[in-house]
Amino acid sequence: MTVNTDRSAPDDELLDDGSIADSVTPWPISWVAEQMLGLPEEALVPHGRHVAKIDRTWLRRLEDAPQGRLVLVTGISPTPAGEGKTTTTVGLTDGLRHLGVRASAALREPSMGPVFGMKGGAAGGGWSQVVPMVDINLHFTGDFAAIASANNLLSALIDNHLHQGNALDIDPRRITWKRVLDVNDRALREVVIGLGGPSNGVPRQDGWDIVVASELMAIFCLATSLTDLKERIGRIVVAYTRDRRPVTAADLQAQEAMTILLSTALQPNLVQTLEHSPAFVHGGPFANIAHGCSSVLATRTALATSEVVVTEAGFGADLGAEKFIDLKCRLSGLRPGAAVVVATVRALKFHGGVALPDLQEEDICAVRAGAANLRRHLQNLREVFRIPAVVAINRFPQDTDAEIAAVREIAAAEGAEAVEATHAAHGGAGAAGLAQAVQRLLAEDDGEVSFCYPDEADMVTKAEAVAHRVYRASQVTWSATARRQLKQIETDGYGHLPVCFAKTPYSFSTDPSRLGAPEDHVVDIREVRLRAGAGFVVLMTGDVMTMPGLPRRPASATMSIEEDGRVSGLS
C-alpha cells in the first residue's frame, strides 16, 4: 500500500510504508520491555531480536499489578476511501507517550490470507506503524498456524472417530466443526471428503473457513489461562448424534492435545511502534464474521504494565465496538474508559454519495450528508453503551479546513469533540491533540459501561436488541433453518449465551450498498451457529462468507524477495 503517501504533508518526501519503516532502527525488544513497560529480560521469550512473547510465569505475576485505563479505537462504517483505524491506534499510543503517559497498544495479528489477496497487511501506515512489518503480516510467532493445527487435529479426530466405528453415534450429516486454513481459498468453502473407498474414512460434506473466522480463534482471544483455554475447548460442540444430542471436543478427548498445541501461542506477543512504544499484537478474529478483538490475555498484560492501553476493534462501531463491549467486556470484565471514533473527510463524503474518483473535491454538503453515519455511531456509543467518545479526524492533505470544521460542528452537536490528527505524516506528535482529548475523557469517566442487552434475556430478545438499538433495523426475521437451529440450541441449554452477528461491515444494514445511516431495514438471520467454547452464538446475515477468495490479480503476483531476504510489494 502506498495510499499513505497521500496523507503526508505536501512538503514531505513521498515515502511508502516500507521505506518509512526501513528508515527507523527498531530497538531490541528487551529495551522496549524494560524501558517502556518495566519488564525485565527474563519476562520475555525472544523470537528474533524485535519480537518477543511474554513468558507464562510473568503473566501470572502480573495478575495482581495495578491496572491502567483502557481506550477503545473504533470507526465509522468502512469505505474504500480508507479510514486508518490501526494507524490511528498506533498514532494515539505514540501521542500519549509524547504527553508523558506510559501508553501501549493492543492490536490484532493480521491474517496472512488477505495479505496475498487484496487487503494488504494490517500493521498501520506512514509514521504510525508497528514493526517488523513483514514478520507481523506473515507467520509472526506462529500463533495462527498453531490455531489451525489444533483446529484441524480436532477435525481429524472427528473423522477418525467415524472411521473407527463411531462409538458416539455421530451423525456425519450434522458435523458442525470445520477445518481451517490461513489462505484465501474459495474452492474449499464447500467440499466432499472421505472419498476413495473404506480405507479413506467416511464420505461426507464438509467445508473450510479462514482461521480468523474460527471458534478456536475466538476461544484463544477470550481465554484467561491455559486451564480456561482447555475448559473452553472441551465445551466446543463439534457435531450432533443421530438422536440430536450435542457431541463435544471433550467427548473426543481432544482438549488436552489441542491445548498443548496452543500453549506457546497463548503467551502474548510484544513488538514496538516506529517511536518505540510497546504494542501487544495477539490474536485476530475478523469483526464481521467473528468477535473482532485482540486477546484478553494481551489486553490484561498491557493494562498491568501501562497507564493507558489503546486497543482497536475491527470495522465500524456497529460491529467492532458492539462486540468489544457485549462479548469481550461482558465475558472478561474489562471496561473501556473512552472510545475514539476514527473518521476521514473522504469516507464521510463517500457515505454522502460522492463517487470514489471525486473525493478530492471539496464538498461540504456531502460531508454533512455522510456524517449521518458518524452521528449514529456516536449516538450508539453514548446512548447504548454509555462510553464517552471523541472523533479522530485522520486528516488527508486534500481535506479543506471548511470540511474539517463541518465535521467538528456535527460532532459537537452530538456532544463530542472532533480532533484532527496527522500521525500518518508526523507520527505521535501529529496525534498529541487527540491524546489530550482522550485524557480529558478518561479524567471524567466513571469506568462503567452498559451492555446492549442483559445476560438473562433470551436469544431472540438479544438479537433484536442489537438489531434495533445498534443497527436501527425495523424488523428481525429468522429463516426456517435459523429457527430450527435456535430451538436446538435452547433445548441443549445454550439459550443464555450472548449473540455475535455476522454482518457486512459496510452498512448498518445487511445490505453493503446502503451507506450513511439507513433506517427501516430488515435483518434476516439465515443461520445460527453455536460457539459453546467461545461462549456465544453467531447469527449469520446477508451473504457474509467465512472463507474469502483471491481477486483476479492477487497481490502475490507483484511481490518479490532478494537473496538478502529483503521483501518488496508487501505492506
Q: Any idea which residue has 494488504 for its cell?
A: 120
Nearer of residues 56 and 469 to its own copies, judged by Cβ = 56
Is 82 assigned a ligand-binding role in the annotation?
A: yes
* Of residues 355 and 557, the one with the C-beta less far from its own copies: 557
CB of 508 to its own copies, least distance (A): 25
Instruction: Compute the least distance from the CB of residue 202 to its own copies, in Å.
Output: 7
- Closest approach, Cβ 288 to its own copies, in A, equals 17
Q: Is the Cβ of residue 186 or residue 440 nearer to its own copies in the bound state?
A: 186
CA distance 201 to 204: 9
CA–CA separation, 471 vs 1, rounded Å?
31
Which CB, 184 or 394, lies closer to its own copies? 184
Q: Provide the minimum distance between the beta carbon of 271 and its own copies in the complex, in angstroms, as a whole number.
A: 15
CA–CA separation, 238 and 255 (whole Å): 12
Contact 286, 112 (CB under 8 A): no
121 is in an annotated binding site: no
Cell of 314: 475491527
Q: Is 81 annotated as a binding residue?
A: yes
For residues 547 and 542, give the distance between their C-alpha atoms in angstroms, rounded to a whole number: 15
Are 385 and 338 a contacting pair, CB within 8 Å?
Answer: no
We find the least distance from the C-beta atom of residue 1 to its own copies, in angstroms, to be 16
Q: For the CB of residue 147, give the shortest distance to its own copies in the complex, in Å.
A: 11
- Cβ at position 456, least distance to its own copies in Å: 31
**Does 84 belong to an annotated binding site?**
yes
Q: Which is nearer to its own copies, 116 or 127 (CB)?
A: 116
Q: Which is nearer to its own copies, 51 or 473 (CB)?
A: 51
The Cβ-side half-sphere exposure at 417, using a 13 Å CA radius, reads 17
- Asked if 119 and 315 touch (Cβ cutoff 8 Å), the reply is no
Helix (H, G, I), strand (E, B) or coil at 539: strand
Here the contacts of 187-190 (C-beta below 8 Å, separation 24 or greater) are 188/547, 189/545, 189/547
**Residue 152 Cβ, how far from its own copies at the closest point, in Å?**
5
Residue 498's φ and ψ, nearest 5 degrees, are -70, 170
Only one residue has cell 528487551, namely: 30
Angle at 194 between CA 260 and CA 546, to 5 degrees: 65
> What Å distances lie between residue 129 and 12, 78, 105, 277, CA to CA?
17, 20, 11, 10
Cα dist. 376→364, 461, 481 in Å? 19, 22, 32
341, three cell numbers:
471514533
Q: Which amino acid is at 391?
A: V
In this structure, what C-alpha cell is assigned to residue 148?
489451525
Our CB check for its own copies shows the closer of 263 and 379 to be: 263
Q: Which is nearer to its own copies, 156 or 405 (CB)?
A: 156
With vertex at residue 189, the alpha carbon angle to CA 186 and CA 190, rounded to the nearest 5 degrees, is 130
Question: To the nearest whole angstrom, how small is the minimum distance from the Cβ of residue 17 to its own copies?
Answer: 16
Confirm if 532 and 235 have CB atoms less than 8 A apart.
yes
Based on CB atoms, which residue is closest to its own copies, 254 or 421? 254
Residues of the binding site for ATP: 79-86
Please enumerate, by residue number, every residue annotated as part of a binding site. Answer: 79-86
